[in-house]
Homo-oligomer: A and B are copies of this chain.
């Protein structure tokens, strides 16, 4: 029998949608959308990344990301320039303005994470995160087999 209430993809999707829609509301105050925030968070984590790596990090499809980066560039949140070491690739960096907004959002994001994890012990939080990583890796391995193993993020 198929019990939706204990079906992992259902539970992940449900939690993900809620996380996304609630935080989107909070982001409005900063004038950025959720996908923009994801890019900004990835760039805060490591600035000056190439577009392909950024796509892998944010789980945003590359053509979608290309359009998104153009929009963010128009908003002066980031800049793109050709890489010096490999002129095929494009390096994306936050502008000072973009970094400023990012730094303002981060505390909000962390508070929001606390709300999502209210009632969790530190051990539970750690366990949950570790298991989400494992789920991702299980599917990543599967995907790499199917499409000849690219998609590495550091």
* Cα–Cα, bound, A45→B7 (Å): 11
Task: Say how many copies of this protein the assembly contains.
Answer: 2
Q: Indicate the size class of the contact surface on chain A.
A: 35 or more
Identify which of A12-20, A67-75, A76-84, A87-95 touches chain B: A12-20
* Cα–Cα, bound, A10→B32 (Å): 17
Is A133's beta carbon under 8 Å from chain B?
yes
A–B Cβ pairs within 8 angstroms, 21 of them: A2-B41, A2-B106, A3-B45, A7-B113, A8-B132, A9-B16, A9-B116, A11-B129, A13-B19, A14-B136, A18-B135, A18-B139, A18-B143, A19-B135, A19-B139, A115-B139, A120-B131, A120-B134, A127-B131, A128-B128, A128-B135
